[in-house]
Amino acid sequence: MDLIAVETVLRPRSRSELPAWQAGDACLAGGTWLFSEPQPGTRRLVDLAGLGWPPSALGPEGLMLAATCTIAQLDRLDLPPSWVAAPLVRQCCRALLGSFKIWNTATVGGNLCLALPAGPMIALATALEASCAIWSADGAERSLSATDFVLDPGRNALRPGEILRSLSIPAAALTRRTAFRRISLSPNGRSGALLIGTRDAWGGFALTVTASVRRPLRLIFDALPDRAALMQVLDEAIPETLYHDDVHGRPDWRRHVTRHLAEEIREALSGEAGRCS
Ligand SMILES: Cc1cc2nc3c(=O)[nH]c(=O)nc-3n(C[C@H](O)[C@H](O)[C@H](O)COP(=O)(O)OP(=O)(O)OC[C@H]3O[C@@H](n4cnc5c(N)ncnc54)[C@H](O)[C@@H]3O)c2cc1C
Dump pLDDT digits (tens) for 150-177.
Answer: 999 999 999 999 999 999 999 999 999 9
- Of 99, 266, 90, 127, the residue nearest 210 (C-alpha): 127
| 98 — pLDDT class (breaks 50, 70, 90) | confident
How many angstroms separate the CA atoms of 128 and 174, rounded? Answer: 7
Pairing relationship of beta strands 163-170 and 62-66 according to DSSP bridges = antiparallel
Q: Find the mean pLDDT for residues 66-82.
A: 97
Pairing relationship of beta strands 177-183 and 193-199 according to DSSP bridges = antiparallel
| 257 — pLDDT class (breaks 50, 70, 90) | very high
Hey, which of 32, 163, 186 would you mutate to test ligand 1's pocket, going by the most ligand atoms within 8 Å of its Cβ?
32
Give the per-residue pLDDT at 152.
Answer: 98
- Which residues lie below 8 Å from residue 58, measured CB to CB, with a gap of 6+? 64, 77, 79, 80
Give the per-residue pLDDT at 37.
Answer: 94
Q: What percent of the chain has pLDDT over 90?
A: 94
Q: Find the mean pLDDT for residues 127-149.
A: 96
Give the per-residue pLDDT at 137.
Answer: 85
Q: Find the mean pLDDT for residues 142-146.
A: 97
The string of pLDDT tens digits covering residues 208-218 is 999 999 999 99
Give the per-residue pLDDT at 272.
Answer: 62
Where in the chain are the domains? 8-47, 54-171, 179-268
Indicate left, alpha or beta for 89 from its phi (over 0: left) and psi (-120 to 50: alpha): alpha
| 275 — pLDDT class (breaks 50, 70, 90) | very low
CATH 3.30.465.10 assigned to domain 54-171? The reply is yes
Pocket of ligand 1 (CB under 6 A): 26-34, 36, 48, 67, 96-98, 102, 105-107, 109-111, 113-114, 116, 118-119, 158, 163-164, 190
E strand map for the chain: 8-10, 25-28, 44-47, 56-59, 62-66, 131-135, 141-145, 150-152, 155-156, 163-170, 177-183, 193-199, 205-210, 217-221
How many angstroms separate the CA atoms of 192 and 256, rounded? Answer: 11
Hey, which of 96, 162, 164, 167 would you mutate to test ligand 1's pocket, going by the most ligand atoms within 8 Å of its Cβ?
96
Average predicted confidence (pLDDT) for the chain: 96
Which fold is adopted by the domain 179-268? Enolase-like; domain 1 (3.30.390)
Residues linked to residue 131 through DSSP beta bridges, in sequence order: 145, 168
Alpha carbon distances (Å) from 189 to 35, 66, 218: 21, 27, 24
Angle at the Cα of 116 (from 112 to 120), degrees rounded to 5? 60
